[in-house]
Amino acid sequence: MCGAELKSLPDGVQRVVAALQASGHAQLPRMLEDAARTAQQAADALGIVVGQIAKSIIFRRLSDDAAVLVVTSGDRRVDEHKVAALVGPVGRADAAFVKARTGFTIGGVAPVAHAHPPVTLIDRELFRFAEIWAAAGHPHAVFALAPQDLERLTGAPVADVVLAAA
């Protein structure tokens, strides 16, 4: 991506590009025509199954007000009790908290390049797929990666953090 192209991208996407380039990740963000604020919208735009979307869910850890990022498969729901068992009690994070801690707006929270590094957990269900797609700092931006890349890029543990599949 050339300098002029990079400067035309939203700030959050520029941070994600810089983080991906610094880590040697070959897949740079792709801008979608329409916003992909939900996993289903992103999957539809990319022509993939919703499980391949690595959605970022932010919680607020109650003991220290830290952001807790759970990157989960788009077809799964996070089990707050399982998350709490791993990181301590958590509560919901509102839009202002998400923006202040991550630097991203809800719908565009990337797994990397946060304003303040969160406590991060990766849903083991993502490993069902060879390729997944994550938000890239803006509701119109996504990037491709393998689940193993997500683990490498974030340094986060892989855990069982979702409700049992129906």
- Give pLDDT tens digits for 109-126: 999 999 999 999 999 999
Backbone φ and ψ of 59, nearest 5°: -115, 165
pLDDT in tens, 21-36: 999 998 989 999 888 8
Residue 62 DSSP code: T
Q: What is the CA radius of gyration of the chain?
A: 15
Q: Where are the beta strands (DSSP E) in 43-84?
A: 53-61, 67-73
pTM of this prediction? 0.93
Total length of the chain = 166
**Contact predicate 43/32, CB 8 Å:** no
C-alpha span between 161 and 86 (Å, rounded): 9
Q: Residue 116: count other Cβ atoms within 10 Å of its Cβ.
A: 10
Residue 8's pLDDT band, with cuts at 50, 70 and 90, is confident
Average pLDDT over residues 82-107: 97
